[in-house]
Structure 1
């Protein structure tokens, strides 16, 4: 089997061998064992390089018989490097092995091209996370209320993962929601308005909680490398509340 892939994780396997997690165009996440060259400089396959890879074997863990770079490594530094490692961890932990996900692969390449140009990190991560949730079959739907009604820009809603958006009428709910969201912020989120600071602030908190839910509360280690200030803005009954701030309209 021959695929086009990026190395998203490397770890020692046996003497002279390493295990590679590969994110491929043709088959999504693949894992294989690669024997390092016996002669010359033993250079590990690098991240941020598109490789031509040949794999052998019928089991889930393949043998990598060939791995050749198709271009020079993309140079990524600082916060953009940490953001890329965060994305690699999400892919390694959430993507099912050997399932084609060409759209997410294309989105990943867009992400690499963007971080190489030092595009602001937060909008890139939120856009990629949205694509990841869609590929997992677990998208966040704020296009309509849980009962199928159109979202009204001026209405405040409470949001739950299972029930979606429900109008908030002012009384304290018996069970507190994940967050309170003004309709225009929810509409902006579904439109992908990542340059809108209200949408971006809400989506950061929303995606953090959604990932915790998908991973059953297990920690994402790469988060430690990224700015990790807790939400410290508007709250209602102790729950984050997101609305368009005065002057943002």
Structure 2
């Protein structure tokens, strides 16, 4: 990658201190993918450093100018882009999981370019779910957030070419009254003692998330597939010292 004179949109997926006033960051840059870079002047007590540090936060869309041809780039300039996204409180842990999932995925795979826009819309939907003036009842907000998490995982697998069909098993349609097992990389297969009931798989395929048990079944199969794709457990400690996946999500 050569210098990019024009600004590119990006999100911070991970950052850590570097020297006295700088940070090492992993950025997801639109149309470029994962970029690791140094950003100077984001630590310290100066007004400029405090302001730049406030801009360099997860879920904050920024515009960056990137310099350098080696693996570790330099962010020459950056500035925030107003989006109205506010991730705090209850959804913070879930969205942090999504960022870590993206970080590990982007290390190995390049999603289709439109997935960057999908991530932006995902953050907006999560923000809308938890707005004080939302029409969603408080008791239903967490469930709606979990639905968004499952949809994000599905779409991520699709964007990197590892999706699977909820409605078929070994090229045969899923039957309502049958049970199925799941093999990562292969999909569902008939199994008398299988953990996945046909009725639930059909409900998931049709997006009927209100069906009892659908979210749990989706969570289990998606976790198996993601762990196979990433080559690691989603419950293992990440490089950031957090768990990859919220237990109730």
Give the shorter-chain TM-score range. Answer: 0.7 to 0.9
For 1:165-216, what per-residue CA distance to the aligned partner results, in whole angstroms no more than 9, with x for missing partners?
2223x4x6xxxxxx52222221222233333332111011222233333333
Which region of structure 1 is more displaced relative to structure 2, 28-37 or 86-95? 28-37
Is 1:140 the counterpart of 2:159 in the alignment?
A: no
TM-score of the superposed pair, with normalisation by structure 1: 0.77
Identify which of 161, 167, 173 aligns with 1:150.
Answer: 173
The 5-angstrom pairing of residues 90-239 of structure 1 reads 90-96=101-107, 99=110, 101-117=112-128, 118=130, 119=141, 120-146=144-170, 148-168=171-191, 170=192, 179-218=194-233, 219-221=236-238, 222-223=242-243, 226-228=246-248
C-alpha contact (below 8 Å) 1:28/1:97 kept by paired residues: no
Equivalences, count: 220
Distance of 2:226 and 2:175 partners within structure 1: 27
Gaps of 5+ in 1: 173-178, 230-249
Identify which of 46, 49, 56 aligns with 1:42.
Answer: 49
Residues 1:227 and 1:55: Cα distance change in structure 2 (over 3 Å): same
1:112 to partner: Cα distance: 0.8
TM-score of the superposed pair, with normalisation by structure 2: 0.77
For 1:14-40, what per-residue CA distance to the aligned partner results, in whole angstroms no more than 9, with x for missing partners?
232111111222212222111116853
C-alpha contact (below 8 Å) 1:153/1:182 kept by paired residues: yes
Is 1:13 the counterpart of 2:18 in the alignment?
A: yes
1:228 to partner: Cα distance: 4.5
Secondary structure at the residue paired with 1:106? helix
Is 1:67 the counterpart of 2:72 in the alignment?
A: no
1:3 to partner: Cα distance: 1.2
Residues 1:225 and 1:138: Cα distance change in structure 2 (over 3 Å): closer
Secondary structure at the residue paired with 1:78? coil
For 1:21-71, what per-residue CA distance to the aligned partner results, in whole angstroms no more than 9, with x for missing partners?
112222122221111168534131122221111101112221100111111
Structure 1 or 2: larger helix share? 2
Q: Which residue of 1 aligns with 2:138?
A: none
Gaps of 5+ in 2: 131-140
Which region of structure 1 is more displaced relative to structure 2, 215-224 or 156-165? 215-224
Distance of 1:215 and 1:72 partners within structure 2: 30
Residues 1:188 and 1:24: Cα distance change in structure 2 (over 3 Å): farther
Distance of 2:202 and 2:49 partners within structure 1: 52
Residues 1:70 and 1:22: Cα distance change in structure 2 (over 3 Å): same
Q: Which residue of 2 aligns with 1:244?
A: none
